[in-house]
Structure 1
Amino acid sequence: MRARFCKYLSDLYAREVPLYKTLTSMVQKTNKQIIEKHPELGLNVRDIEVISAERHGAIRLGKPQELYVIAKIFRIMAMYPVDFYDLTKSGAKRQPVISTSFRPISLDEIEKSSFRMFVSLLQPDDRSFFTEDIGKEIKKNIAHRSFFSTKLQELIVQYENDGGFTEETTTVFIEEAAKIFTWSRQANNRKLYNYLMDNGLAIAADISCFNNPHLNHLTPNSLDISKLYEFMSQEIPDNLKDSIEGPPARNVRILLRQTSYKAVVEEVIFTDESGEKSKGSHKARFGEIEERGMAMTSKGKKLYENALKRYMENNDVSEFSVIPDNYTELYKQKLGYYIYAATSQTKDKGSLCCDIDELIANGDVILTPLRYEDFLPVSAAGIFASNLENYGVEKRVHAEVDYRKEQLEEIIGQQIYDSFDIYGSQSAQSLMNTYQQLGVWEQVTNKQEIQEKIKPIG
């Protein structure tokens, strides 16, 4: 269902935003070149559409009830909230939203379809962005907004009661859910819209003055975003974002790198309170590309974040050199997550030791880096900012609001999972399975430590 929903959105977005179709074509073209040039990747050009498929999308919501229902919709597709992102604390790129990502959690589900949705919730009560009057006006403007069809709401209740859908019902559910993400061109409260745009609050205008949370972007997967960016610079130079967000180009890819073409100008129809209509224009929807690397441990992530902070202060890319650029050193320093697996050429089990580093050195166990499935708040804010031509919002008051994960959990009505717990659990489970496969689990001295990392998730 998740894969079908992703495909449905992709076809929909390509029809609505022609430049997006151009983007996906460029992604496939460069990915094909990478596959042909690097046979060691073990990828086949026949699978180019799957390899280049969208990895995530993004929408922005205006009120808690909308997020509550959206969470129910994604739960039906086995997509659960992971990590809490406070984009109000993103420095010069700060935006008045807090976010989470709905995604599959288990490795089996990720293998079927890794599609995820980055969902942001506007904070109109944040006085560092909005005056009290404007905050009230925003809430009033969306108070009675409803974009969940009666049929969709009925299907959600049906699923919760029955625990599943028929094939026919699944098709209807996908079609009804996708209506939320369509571009309607219908806007309202032009006075509020103009005020927000004039005061550097474009993201708030996008959220609060439209009838539904149109899809902001979809993101195809790039095997080499630097090469793709170079290609895009030649093909669509006027529309291209000015940089790649995330870590610099490396031999060993870590975390997430993103870039995009800028939002296109689209005609909208404003309707005022009297019912009078007028034409206007709006920029919100853009095309993003991503390149995913290895998931980093808490220690590795802090190393990256500290390097990023120094880089943003002095614009010196060498700040990232503190992060080793090879898998061996990343493993030794416990900076990244790996999946362990016994090789098919294992020796007589009676002769094996139970020291994992020795097993790896002897070739009895191989390591595969775990792919990063989540997001980087500064990068996300940077993507939003550049496409809205709104590089952060100057604070109205000095004090900032302290947003917490628990606030979103209460709205959603379920736990927001910690990505470190997920990666750690997946890695630990594979380590225990490998020890058991090799027949040395009983001799392992840190069994309890390994088992404590394996958490029931999802």
Structure 2
Amino acid sequence: MSEYIPSWQIRAQFCKYLSDLYAKEVPLYNKLASMVRQINKEVIVKHPELGLNIRDVDVISAERHGAIRLGKPQELHMMAKVFRVMAMFPVDFYDLTKSGAKRQPVISTSFRPISLNEIEKSSFRMFVSLLQPDDRSFFSAEVGEQIKKNIENRDFFSKKLRELLTEYEAQGGFTQQQVDTFIQEAAKIFTWSQQATNRKLYNHLMDNGLAIAADIACFANPHLNHLTPNSLDISKLYDFMAEEIPENLKDSIEGPPLRKTRILLRQTSYKAVVEEVLFIDESGEKAKAFHKARFGEIEERGMAMTIKGKELYEKALKKYMENGNQDEFAIIPDSYDDLYKEKLGYYMYNAASQAKDNMSCDIDELVASGDVHITPIRYEDFLPVSAAGIFASNLGNYGVEKINQEETVYTKEQLQDIIGSKIHNSFAIYEQQSTQSLINTYKELGIWDKIDNKEELEAKTNYIET
């Protein structure tokens, strides 16, 4: 019997395949990836305390995530099956219809690995958005029905891909030969087709600032909107991009301002490139046009924040969006020690000494004494306002005006029903990882039996169910 390939290897191979594909389709992306590697090399050389090797710059600079947009629930349900092969599960619910001035007519989730072992081997994730044509604050009833009719019979999942998914469910794994075919078939979904339909609907949506809806509703397949290499210094990279591609550069960096301690996620991009498309109407008549959808994004990930820390960030962000004053973020401490003391971030624990007689069982005392080292856990998720801002700026519209005041309520439970599986909670995932490292540290120091809340700690490590 042939050996099955680990899910993380399938995920890594898929990421590499998409990277090569996107570099060929969008030459400017290739230039961006080269700039990322150049700046990362400089950071590695200048900051040896990071413990990074310049020989690993390609791995360090590799894509951390991609993004696609889907048009109907059936598409999302099938995409979830594709991602499941790569151990990528839905995490968190993002309602971009409520993103203030940057609002867009989609709800989203992120498909990503959720176990620490899987993340460490390949952290590639996919931000997936689902269009909401029935949302009357964006679309009239007539336009919403036109959108649904235009994609009603669309099916970009090949027969071979469906057969492979059935085989995977029966076997519980793939051989390398099956992986190769699976990646080729799955990648077709993300490939730029250049073919579009219903130019009248397309023009109406574009004229009304609904570029995302036009991109979703009028093309044969969703295509990859962007891939995102990892930057070690996004501020320095942004300045470099301003010199190299100033006419294409997004006007700002989304997320927290520059700090000594990196928190959550910072993102920027070059704007969507203009590409030629061919519209084919029902009568077969063809007409050339131009479309902007695909862009290059860069990210710099910082520390995952606790619920308390995230609420503090959201409070600062709300005030910043009201007055544009970055000093609002000063309410968040800018040292890892203070962030730890105030329980604003998630950390991994590691024993830094041998077991001792009369050793404290208080973790904060152990950290203060140096018997335990703490390391910030990297944030693996997204920020809804930042995501909406990236979408809006790259399609030339900073949010969409309401056509009426009717508000549609979207919930995580609704999206779960469409996907057919649980949407995981990112806070619980980080809590699990941190707590497991704490338990391991207690055991290594020989004090686990003295800990009073063992049952509570063990319960936190049993959260994830796949």
**TM > 0.5 fold call:** yes
Other structure's SS at 1:455 match: coil
Question: Aligned pair 1:451/2:458, yes or no?
Answer: yes
**2: distance between equivalents of 1:272 and 1:199?**
21
**1: distance between equivalents of 2:461 and 2:207?**
50
1:446 Cα deviation after fit: 2.4
Residue of 83, 87, 90 corresponding to 1:81: 90
Q: Determine the structure 1 residue equivalent to 2:162.
A: 153
Question: Aligned pair 1:421/2:393, yes or no?
Answer: no
**2: distance between equivalents of 1:257 and 1:348?**
40
Q: Determine the structure 2 residue equivalent to 1:16.
A: 25
Q: Is the 8 A contact 1:311 1:317 kept in 2?
A: yes
- Unpaired stretches in structure 2, ≥5 consecutive residues: 1-9
Q: Determine the structure 1 residue equivalent to 2:181.
A: 172
Task: State how 1:334-349 maps to structure 2 within 5 Å.
Answer: 334-343=343-352, 346-349=353-356
Distance 1:448 1:201, change over 3 A: same
Q: Is the 8 A contact 1:359 1:365 kept in 2?
A: yes
Percent sequence identity over matched residues? 73
| Structure 1 letter corresponding to 2:71 | G
Question: Aligned pair 1:266/2:295, yes or no?
Answer: no
Q: Is the 8 A contact 1:421 1:455 kept in 2?
A: no
Query: 1:372-411: per-residue Cα shift (whole Å, max 9, x none)?
Result: 0000000000000000001111111112111000011000
Query: 1:2-38: per-residue Cα shift (whole Å, max 9, x none)?
Result: 0000000000000000000000000000000000000
Query: 1:318-371: per-residue Cα shift (whole Å, max 9, x none)?
Result: 00000000000000000000011112xx23433422111111122211101000
Task: State how 1:13-412 maps to structure 2 within 5 Å.
Answer: 13-343=22-352, 346-412=353-419
**1: distance between equivalents of 2:319 and 2:370?**
39
Query: 1:403-453: per-residue Cα shift (whole Å, max 9, x none)?
Result: 000011000000000000100111111111110111101111222332232
Q: Is the 8 A contact 1:122 1:207 kept in 2?
A: yes
Question: Aligned pair 1:435/2:442, yes or no?
Answer: yes
Other structure's SS at 1:147 match: coil
| Structure 1 letter corresponding to 2:206 | M
Other structure's SS at 1:426 match: helix
1:201 Cα deviation after fit: 0.3
Q: Is the 8 A contact 2:355 2:446 kept in 1?
A: no
**2: distance between equivalents of 1:290 and 1:407?**
29
1:81 Cα deviation after fit: 0.2
| Structure 1 letter corresponding to 2:391 | F
**2: distance between equivalents of 1:332 and 1:424?**
16
Other structure's SS at 2:247 match: coil
| Structure 1 letter corresponding to 2:11 | R
| Structure 1 letter corresponding to 2:445 | L
1:187 Cα deviation after fit: 0.2
**2: distance between equivalents of 1:454 and 1:389?**
44
Query: 1:42-70: per-residue Cα shift (whole Å, max 9, x none)?
Result: 00010000000000000000000000000
Moved more, 433-442 or 282-291: 433-442
Q: Is the 8 A contact 2:428 2:463 kept in 1?
A: no
Q: Is the 8 A contact 1:295 1:369 kept in 2?
A: yes
**2: distance between equivalents of 1:399 and 1:236?**
41
| Structure 2 letter corresponding to 1:422 | I
**1: distance between equivalents of 2:433 and 2:355?**
27
**1: distance between equivalents of 2:190 and 2:326?**
38
Other structure's SS at 2:348 match: strand
Other structure's SS at 2:248 match: coil
Q: Is the 8 A contact 2:303 2:345 kept in 1?
A: yes
Q: Is the 8 A contact 1:87 1:377 kept in 2?
A: yes
Other structure's SS at 1:402 match: coil
Give the TM-score taking structure 2 as reference length: 0.97
**2: distance between equivalents of 1:456 and 1:306?**
28
Which portions of structure 1, spanning 4 or more consecutive aligned residues, are displaced by more than 3 angstroms? none
**1: distance between equivalents of 2:187 and 2:286?**
27
Number of residues of Structure 1 aligned to a counterpart in Structure 2 = 456
| Structure 2 letter corresponding to 1:103 | R
Moved more, 446-455 or 202-211: 446-455
| Structure 1 letter corresponding to 2:216 | I
| Structure 2 letter corresponding to 1:407 | Q
Alignment RMSD (CA, Å):
0.7
Other structure's SS at 2:462 match: coil
